[in-house]
């Protein structure tokens, strides 16, 4: 399959100006030089790391490519030990990408879990050898300082070179306000995100960074920078954020409806930043159910908030309050109507193929079913082979 090229990174922008342009130029050129990601990683000499064995090095060359199907590992719904088993099974079933949520609390109280995402990724990398791994998404602004995010993902990249991506977003109150007591207006949260992206990229360059910004002060150097540029994908869920994600990210993370409605805004932002959107990864999360309507309704109880997640519920910091409000406002049928629900492989193949046809490069399938093994095995045996054949 065709590799998704990494676009050259211009200065991080908020729509009105640039951020530390000269400091980012060299990093932008590095990203451009590694344009095909996996192919570039395959040619580069791997740095020494704790997994520096021939069989580990052989697993670093799978490109972040068009036509990729990922599997969502939801910390909200499953404990970390179980997620490790699910992720390992998904990698062995043929999923080339594993994405994790990064939360302090679940969206709804009945989901019942919320482990630490970076710990999960570090533990998963060896048994899931060969699969890309990353977060959808991390908020690098309040609960996490951007310098800490830069160091953590640089370290993950050293452990598993050529297999790590970072998804970032402006956050939710249930994580940021609950963990810090701070929850600024959206405009400030996005400005913080823009500045944080710049700090992360500067630190990843491996050079000393002396940054005095509006929100962050950094005087540091990463002594173990990533061996190659890490794809940094920016999440968006509305018209404004889609444009800003195009301006600032190497790629996009969104949902099917937002992609269909505001694709042109994202493409316009990317072009205004000097990037070619057709060469940038677009990851869309698609809920799926392997089963019948009763299976879908059971899964939807855990994800009832989804239709209003980024219209209303992202401003609520209490998972119990989100659950109570969603149960009162969102009919189950409204949720499941947007999901492919079937044991017929062709239904799932069509849903994913339609997204690919719309310009999506990575479809990240997410099932709220308690029986994740059923989903993994069905996709591994019935869906992924058909998609590979059709592609």
Same structural domain, 360 and 388:
yes
**pTM metric for this prediction:** 0.86
Q: Looking at the structure, do residues 380 and 294 belong to the same domain, yes or no?
A: yes
The answer to the question of residue 9 being in a domain is: no
> 377 lies in a domain?
yes
Q: Does the residue 310 lie in any domain?
A: yes
Q: Of residues 49, 75, 76, 103, which has the active-site annotation?
A: 103
* 106 and 148 in a common domain: no
Question: 3-7, 119-123, 329-333 — which is least confidently predicted?
Answer: 3-7
Show which of 231, 247, 268 is a domain's final residue: 231
Q: Directed axis angle between helix 239-248 and helix 256-272, to 10°?
A: 50
Whether 348 sits among the annotated catalytic residues: the reply is: no
Counting the structural domains of the chain, the total is 2
Q: Is the domain of 387 the same as that of 286?
A: yes
Task: Please indicate, yes or no, if residue 21 is contained in any of the structural domains.
Answer: no
For residue 179, tell me if it sits in a domain.
yes
Residue 269 located in a structural domain: no
Same domain for 302 and 216, yes or no, is no
**Dihedrals φ, ψ of 315, to 5°?**
-90, 0
Active site residue 103: yes
Catalytic residue among 76, 111, 151, 172: 172
Tell whether the model's pLDDT for residue 54 goes beyond 70.
no
Q: Residue 58 pLDDT more than 60?
A: no
Q: Are residues 227 and 312 in the same domain?
A: no
- Domain membership of residue 158 as a residue range: 139-231
pLDDT digits (tens, 9 = 90+) for 173-221: 999 999 999 999 999 999 999 999 999 999 999 999 999 999 999 999 9
Please indicate, yes or no, whether residues 120 and 145 belong to a single structural domain of this protein. no
Same domain as 389, residue 298 = yes
Same-domain check for residues 300 and 391 = yes
Q: Evaluate whether residue 59 is within a structural domain.
A: no
Mean pLDDT of 356-368: 98
13-22, 101-110, 310-319: which has the minimum mean pLDDT?
Answer: 13-22
In a domain, 260, yes or no: no
How wide is the angle at C-alpha 75 spanned by C-alphas 71 and 76, nearest 5°?
115
pLDDT digits (tens, 9 = 90+) for 270-287: 999 999 999 999 999 999
């Amino acid at each position: 399959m065709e590799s998704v090229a990494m676009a050259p990174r211009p200065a991080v922008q908020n729509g009105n100006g640039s951020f530390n342009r000269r400091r980012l130029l060299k990093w932008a050129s590095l990203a451009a030089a590694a344009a095909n990601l996996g192919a570039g990683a395959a040619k580069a000499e791997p740095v020494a790391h704790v997994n520096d064995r021939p069989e580990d090095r052989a697993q670093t060359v799978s490109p972040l490519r068009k036509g990729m199907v990922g599997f969502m590992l939801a910390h909200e719904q499953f404990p970390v030990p179980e997620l490790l088993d699910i992720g390992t099974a998904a990698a062995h079933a043929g999923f080339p990408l594993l994405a994790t949520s990064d939360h302090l609390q679940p969206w709804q109280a009945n989901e019942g879990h919320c482990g630490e995402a970076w710990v999960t990724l570090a533990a998963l990398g060896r048994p899931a050898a060969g699969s890309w791994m990353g977060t959808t998404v991390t908020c690098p602004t309040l609960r996490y300082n951007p310098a800490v995010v830069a160091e953590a993902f640089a370290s993950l990249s050293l452990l598993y070179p050529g297999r790590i991506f970072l998804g970032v977003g402006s956050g939710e109150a249930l994580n940021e306000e609950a963990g810090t007591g701070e929850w600024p207006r959206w405009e400030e949260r996005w400005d913080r995100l823009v500045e944080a992206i710049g700090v992360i990229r500067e630190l990843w360059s491996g050079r000393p960074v002396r940054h005095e910004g509006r929100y962050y002060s950094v005087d540091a150097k990463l002594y173990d920078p990533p061996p190659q540029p890490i794809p940094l994908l920016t999440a968006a869920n509305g018209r404004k954020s889609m444009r800003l994600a195009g301006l600032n990210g190497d790629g996009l993370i969104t949902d099917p409806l937002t992609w269909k409605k505001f694709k042109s805004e994202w493409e316009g932002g990317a072009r205004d930043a000097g990037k070619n959107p057709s060469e940038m990864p677009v990851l869309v999360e698609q809920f799926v159910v392997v089963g019948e309507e009763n299976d879908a309704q059971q899964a939807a109880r855990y994800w009832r908030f989804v239709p209003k997640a980024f219209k209303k519920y992202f401003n609520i910091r209490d998972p119990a309050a989100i659950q109570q409000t969603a149960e009162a406002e969102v009919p189950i049928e409204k949720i499941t109507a947007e999901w492919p629900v079937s044991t017929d492989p062709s239904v799932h193949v069509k849903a994913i193929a339609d997204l690919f046809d719309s310009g999506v490069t990575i479809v990240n399938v997410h099932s709220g079913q308690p029986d994740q093994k059923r989903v993994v095995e069905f996709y591994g045996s019935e869906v992924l082979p058909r998609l590979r054949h059709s592609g």
